[in-house]
Amino acid sequence: MAALCSKGGPETVLLEAITTEIDRLGWRLIVVRDGDRAGLEADVLLMLGHGRTFRQYAHLLRRTADRHARTILWQADPLLPPTLTESVRRKALTAAGIYDRLNWIGSLIGVISFGQSSLGRRLATQRAIYRFASKPLFLLATARTFPPESKRKWDRVNYRTIRVTAECEQWIRRAVREGWLDHLCVSTIQKQRYLAEHGIASTFAPLGVYPALGRDMNLERDIDVLFIGTVRRGERRERLLEWLQRDCRQRGVRLHVVTGGCRGEARTELLNRARLLLHLHQYPWDTPWIRLFMGTACGAALLSEPISDARPFQPGVHYAEAAADQLVEAAVDLLDDPPRIEQIVTTAQDCIQREFTLGRSLRTILRLCPSMVAGP
């Protein structure tokens, strides 16, 4: 039996797809909450998402010497930028570790208030102190992410981006160091290479495609370029989209932006109306494939900023790539050449269906556990 903990809320269709694939491999899957002891009694405890969100399991696993489950983190979230010097990286990881060293605050507040203070208030106080104490170190890492000569306003990264990735990496490093994480699986070759350079072994298991991710509905494609994604105020995507929208209007390109609430069938239908799906980095050093998978499944070619490590995909073959200030020009060229768009989509579909299915990745993961016989 396998237990899946997916704190952070992936779409229901993904959980259903994972359940279906594991059932197809001959195993039963239960979905558990962070800290649920049923997860420790399964053959495999698979934690999917940002490591730092599994605080309760981390607490239990550090103290449970006789646990039955093999523990696996399936890491799909970005880690720290590889461009940071080792000194700055250590400072960012130290900042992320401050939260763990502030656990005494909740106990102290409880004693002072004779136990009347709520757990939520104690945790809020702990988080506030952590963010106040750690922010200078995260700001240092933020300033060192891109070289000083980078002048484009959209190349500035918000310090929150560095904080999130540092917290995730610090959790992984501590879990590996303390020995209660049996296996680490990563969604991109870029992450695998980065971790190997820092002495951490991992297995490549992309968060692959599954039928509900999208399909070609043969709709009229009345949207030239579509962007679907989170856009936070003051961050690089917002700055870059403002510039791109002005340039698209001047060039007569229809750019449609959706910043939230678009999932399931509504998203599939929207993707079927698009000729190009635009990717703008939230984490410029990470390799994001979810947009390639979604767009290709629905017949839209991906147009992206340059990707740091695209293996095994190739720019110009499986997707189109251009520098941020050349994206509109690249879009115009592609829109004027429909056969090229069709060729990119077809080539990408062939590669994805051959190498990047969810079932293939789950077989790779379950084979890490001797007790699991995960199909051919």
Question: Which H, E and C letters describe 312-368, residue by residue?
Answer: CCCECCCEEECCHHHHHHHHHHHHCCHHHHHHHHHHHHHHHHHHCEHHHHHHHHHCC
φ and ψ of 57, to 5 deg: -65, -40
Beta carbons of 321 and 292 less than 8 angstroms apart: no
Quote the pLDDT of residue 50.
84
Planar angle of CA 40, 27, 178, nearest 5 degrees: 30
Structure-token pair, residue 285: 């050093």
Local mean pLDDT, 10-residue blocks, the chain (376 residues): 77 84 88 90 90 87 76 93 92 89 62 59 78 89 73 70 92 92 93 94 93 91 94 82 92 92 87 96 86 94 92 93 94 96 96 93 88 50
Structure-token pair, residue 39: 């997860």
> Quick one: DSSP state of residue 129?
H
Beta carbons within 10 angstroms of residue 183's beta carbon = 18
Structure-token pair, residue 33: 């909450």
Quote the pLDDT of residue 374.
47
Quote the pLDDT of residue 375.
43
DSSP 210-261: -GGG---------EEEEEES---TTSHHHHHHHHHHHHHHHHT--EEEE-S-
DSSP 280-308: --SSTTS---HHHHHHHHTT-EEEESPPS
Count the alpha carbons within 13 Å of 188 in the hemisphere toward its beta carbon: 19
> Quick one: DSSP state of residue 194?
H
Quote the pLDDT of residue 376.
40
